[in-house]
Amino acid sequence: MRKTLREYQELALRFVWEVGEEGANSGAVWRAVNERLSEGKSILRAFVILFLNDMVDDGVLGFREATGKGGHHRVYVAKLDENGYRKYLLRAVVDSMMRDFPEETCEVLKEYKNA
């Protein structure tokens, strides 16, 4: 997944997959990511929140509202598992290539199919 995600993004997704249906708020994801990042690295919570919200917008994650200290918070849950996410990425790449280079993309896909 590192071809398309930064280290902290992959770690965030993997953590949400690990916690399953229980879900995780941005603080829990942020703490888990910072614990698991390569030595000497850390990430701001804002970057984690922006990434999680992008994944919601893309349909990879969902969320439910929960109340707690400071008001309402999002609890993020996976809508796609790792396999589903990989297919989502492939579809996004192929769709983009089909828009920009339809003939060449079809030729290459046929080569893969016949290989």
CA–CA separation, 97 and 106 (whole Å): 9
Residues 88, 55 share a domain: no
Q: What is the pLDDT of residue 114?
A: 87
> What is the residue-level pLDDT of the chain in tens, covering all 115 positions?
778 999 999 999 999 999 999 999 999 999 999 999 999 999 999 999 999 999 999 999 999 999 877 788 999 999 999 999 999 999 999 999 999 999 999 999 999 888 7
Domain interval for residue 74 = 1-79
Write down the pLDDT at residue 80.
Answer: 98
If asked whether residues 72 and 90 sit together in one domain, one would say no
Shared domain check, 12 and 65: yes
102 and 74 belong to one structural domain: no
Residues 59, 115 within the same domain:
no
Number of domains making up the chain: 2
pLDDT at 15: 99
> Is residue 22 domain-shared with residue 66, that is, in the same domain?
yes
Same domain, yes or no, for 45 and 72? yes
Same domain, 60 and 87: no
- Mark whether 68 and 106 lie in a shared domain: no
Residue 2 sits in a domain of what CATH number? Answer: 1.10.10.10
pLDDT for residue 37: 96
